[in-house]
A = this chain, B = another copy of it.
Amino acid sequence: MVRTPLTPEERERGERLGLLLREARRGRSMVEVAASAGLSAETLRKIETGRAPTPAFFTVAALAQTLGLSMDEIAASCSPVTV
């Protein structure tokens, strides 16, 4: 086995993460938040829509910083999987 493809559960988890981030964005635009977090708007859109279901740790950290979210809360509310 080498780098197993993402499971449906992992994709659903990514969708929950994306939804959470989108809700936290509130009125602000994607370009504004993405620029503030130091990533491209396309990447942010992929994460929010769940098309990038397992983003990097520091990517989420930068978004959490920008959006005023707690990393522990994010992890907790996104992972009813493998608790």
Binding site for B on A (CB under 8 A): 10, 13, 17, 38, 54-62, 64-65, 70-72, 74-75, 78-79, 82-83
Contact = CB atoms under 8 A, between A and B. Distances in A.
Number of chain copies forming the complex: 2
A15 to B, nearest CB: 13
A34 to B, nearest CB: 14
26 contacts: A10-B58, A13-B58, A17-B57, A38-B82, A54-B56, A54-B57, A54-B58, A55-B56, A55-B57, A56-B56, A56-B57, A57-B57, A57-B59, A57-B60, A57-B75, A58-B78, A61-B75, A62-B82, A64-B75, A65-B75, A65-B83, A70-B71, A70-B72, A71-B71, A71-B72, A71-B75
A78 to B, nearest CB: 8
